[in-house]
Amino acid sequence: MLVLGRKPGEYVMIGDHIKVQVVKSENGNLRLAIDAPREYPITRGEIYEESLEKKQAMACV
């Protein structure tokens, strides 16, 4: 895992097609803007983990 410090307005590129930019940073909270092609799904972490748990539960049935 790569951990970076970024200020509002700064960004990181993932490959040539995905840009993650810090839009706002306040009181330990961040707002990120993610610019990626439509074929790359973007899912919040808690939703992704919930989906994994459901898949694992169904595999055990």
For 5-25, write each residue's pLDDT tens digit: 999 999 999 999 999 999 999
Write the CB contacts of 51 (distance below 8 Å, at least 6 apart in sequence). 43
d(CA 5, CA 7): 7
What is the number of domains present in the chain?
1
Q: Which domain does 38 fall in, by range?
A: 11-59
Q: Where are the beta strands (DSSP E) in the chain?
A: 11-14, 18-26, 29-35
Q: What pLDDT digit, counting tens, does each position of 30-58 carry?
A: 999 999 999 999 999 999 999 999 999 88
Is pTM beyond 0.75? Reply is: yes
